[in-house]
Chains A and B, each alone.
Chain A
C-alpha cells in the first residue's frame, strides 16, 4: 500500500470548517483514499473514501487532486465532538488490513 503523510496536529475553532490535508504521492491507479478517525480510547470510525472524484456524505467532504497525489478531508462545521485523530489511508479496499500511519490530531476549540 502507498504511504501517506499528514501534519501531526491541527487546531480548529468550533463552527468553522476543518481542512485536513494528506499527501499520497505514490498512490497507484486502483487504490482508494480512505479516511477514518479515532476518538480517544475508541475504535476507528469510517468517515469517507474516494478514488478520483470528490465525495460528500453526511459527515464530511473529500477533495482529491486531479493527479491523485494529495487529498483534503473537510469537516464543514467542526464541533467539539470532532476532536480526534484523523487517519488518511490508501488501500485497494478497506476490507484489507489497513496501514494507519500516524494521523493528524485535530483539536476543536470553543
Chain B
C-alpha cells in the first residue's frame, strides 16, 4: 500500500509557542490530505480537509487561525499549531487520498504526539 509519513513523531513544547507538523505522501501524489485529532481514550475527529493549492476546509469548532494548514505541494501538507496551550496536547494524525487506477482510498500517517507544557 501507499505510504504516508509524519514528522515529528513526538514533540514537546512550551505554552505559547508554535509547532509545525509535516505530513508527506512518500510514493504517490495526493491532491487531498486530511488532518485528524485524537484525545486520550477518544476516537479520531476530523479537523480539516487540505486541498493542494487552495485553502483548507475546517470542521465546525476548529479555529482556522490557530491550526494553520498549508498544502503547497502534491506530497506535503503541514499543520501549524499556533500559540499552543496545554489543551492542544493531543495525537494528530494525517491521511492522504490516493486516487489512481480506479482506486480512491485513504492512507494514514503514524501520528504525531504533541505535548504542551
A contact set with B: CB distance below 8 Å: 38, 41-46, 87, 93-103
Contact = CB atoms under 8 A, between A and B. Distances in A.
Given A87-B43, A100-B43, A100-B44, A43 B106 contact: no
Contact of A95 (B6, B44, B105): B105
Nearest to A44: B108
A41 to B, nearest CB: 7
A93 to B, nearest CB: 5
Contacts of B36: 100
A41 B43 contact: no
Contacts of B109: 43
B44 A44 contact: yes
A97 B47 CA distance: 10
Contacts of A87: 43
B113 interface: yes
A103 B29 CA distance: 30
Contacts of A95: 32, 97-99, 104-106
B106 A94 contact: yes
A97 B108 contact: no
B106 to A, nearest CB: 5
Contacts of A38: 44
Contact of A43 (B99, B104, B111): B111
B105 A46 contact: yes
B110 A42 contact: yes
Identify the 8 closest CB pairs spanning chains A and B, nearest first: A95-B104, A43-B108, A100-B44, A95-B97, A93-B104, A100-B43, A44-B108, A43-B110
A100 B44 CA distance: 6
Given A42-B111, A93-B104, A97-B49, 12 more contacts: A41-B91, A42-B110, A43-B108, A44-B93, A44-B108, A46-B107, A94-B104, A94-B106, A97-B34, A98-B44, A100-B43, A100-B45
Contacts of A98: 44, 46, 106
